[in-house]
Structure 1
């Protein structure tokens, strides 16, 4: 097993592998040691390979690992950056950084989306909607295994948080749209309901569709990877429709 691992590392890379190595270096700031980890991180489930024991090899395991590491590093960074902020503030800002929509956008900005191996049409299948964010988490997992935690932390903080996020803007726009709608409905004596009207996707990649109903009339729909996020998305659209804002 060790011999196979070493031979894999020492063999000559193809032109495609060399191009990938250059792209990874540009993204993480250092040449990859074990390129196979990054190839796996960028392999969507649609392009998974079946091994001898029936296990399908894709980036899902690395995604699981990267999700935990990314969340921990972001939590640590926010904890130290905002020493006088309460737990609720830190939790909300971390959630806005590592939620699926945010990670999908970061994947596009960092050029990760263009490196993903997949099969089929990403516009016709729900499982592709989180492809970019999943690959970003898997990449974090790959960096951790390839370079260790210390380097992985530098990569997340410097290349992701400081390199592509505006924390001041995230904090300033941290509006709870659902609370705004509820307060508006109470002040104006309106009957307000939030309903989950549909669920899509697989058990592990489920997306919820929520709808805001005012006085028995549907106003707006929103989607998210949890019921709470779907309701917030629907509430945000309703705020725009009604021209409501929490700002003075």
Structure 2
């Protein structure tokens, strides 16, 4: 075990390599485990928070497992929730949840930096996104290894997927007007038409235009700008985002069969971007 002295050090001192001889359990590590709801042994948790720079007994293998587990449960959830997301946009959303920077930020929020073990000579430690994210992935891998897939899924949903992530800007289209026109053709709708809905200050330096884009009588999107062109651009992007960022509110996941529930698959959406 590791002495209490190790876990009470500041970030800069804590990162330095130490040879531990005490066998007392660490209150800091116990508190961390309780805070995030980990029902695992302290020796196993110690290994999960030990970076490979610290020694031969480290979290490298658990990190590999945890990355795949987090990727599986996040991928199936996000695909079911956003069935129309194009592949490139989907990758951006997935990275926003389980990328190194995102996991490191969440790790700091839950106090992972206070129990992380690393060698300052080999790693930037608690300030380094890769070191932090590796420990969080290792914890996910540990839960999967010791408690099984269902427990790991619950952990991922509670700690990773429960966070608010802004996905409103993941779809990037260079010519949204032309793209929207092809989208409406694909789905058998009338060609989109732009209509000026409101305006103010046309003859001034602070003009504001509000444009709506319609397919027949259906308003697909709305946008504003200091010019008609800018307002139309934003209206078309609004319509495109409403299409690709459509959310399923009630769905079942393939992994729900882990609890022996009757599986009802979610239909695949049309995710291919028109080029």
Q: TM-score with structure 1 length normalisation?
A: 0.54
Q: Deviations over 1:119-167 (max 9, x none)?
A: 3268868x955111111111111111121110111111112221xx213
Q: Which residue of 2 aligns with 1:35?
A: 42
CA contact (8 A) 2:123 2:131 kept: no
1:74 has 2:82 as partner: no
CA contact (8 A) 2:53 2:122 kept: no
Q: Per the alignment, do residues 37 and 15 of structure 1 end up closer, same or farther by CA in structure 2, a change over 3 Å counting?
A: closer
Write the distance in 2 (CA, Å) between the matches of 1:99 and 1:137.
Answer: 10
Write the distance in 1 (CA, Å) between the matches of 2:133 and 2:80.
Answer: 25
Write the distance in 2 (CA, Å) between the matches of 1:115 and 1:98.
Answer: 21
Displacement after TM superposition at 1:59 (Å): 1.0
Q: Which residue of 2 aligns with 1:89?
A: 89
Displacement after TM superposition at 1:93 (Å): 1.1
Displacement after TM superposition at 1:67 (Å): 0.8
CA contact (8 A) 2:97 2:160 kept: no
Report the count of equivalent residues. 155
CA contact (8 A) 1:74 1:94 kept: yes
**Partner-residue secondary structure (3-state), 2:50:** coil
Q: Per the alignment, do residues 146 and 25 of structure 1 end up closer, same or farther by CA in structure 2, a change over 3 Å counting?
A: farther
Displacement after TM superposition at 1:174 (Å): 2.5
Larger helix share, 1 or 2: 1
Pairing partner for 1:172 from 164, 168, 173? 168
CA RMSD, Structure 1 to Structure 2 (Å):
3.0
Q: Deviations over 1:90-132 (max 9, x none)?
A: 333112322211121121112212210123268868x955111
Range 85-94 or range 151-160, more displaced = 85-94
Range 136-145 or range 84-93, more displaced = 84-93
Q: Which residue of 1 aligns with 2:29?
A: 20
Q: Which residue of 1 aligns with 2:135?
A: 135
Q: Which residue of 1 aligns with 2:150?
A: 150
Q: Which residue of 2 aligns with 1:241?
A: none
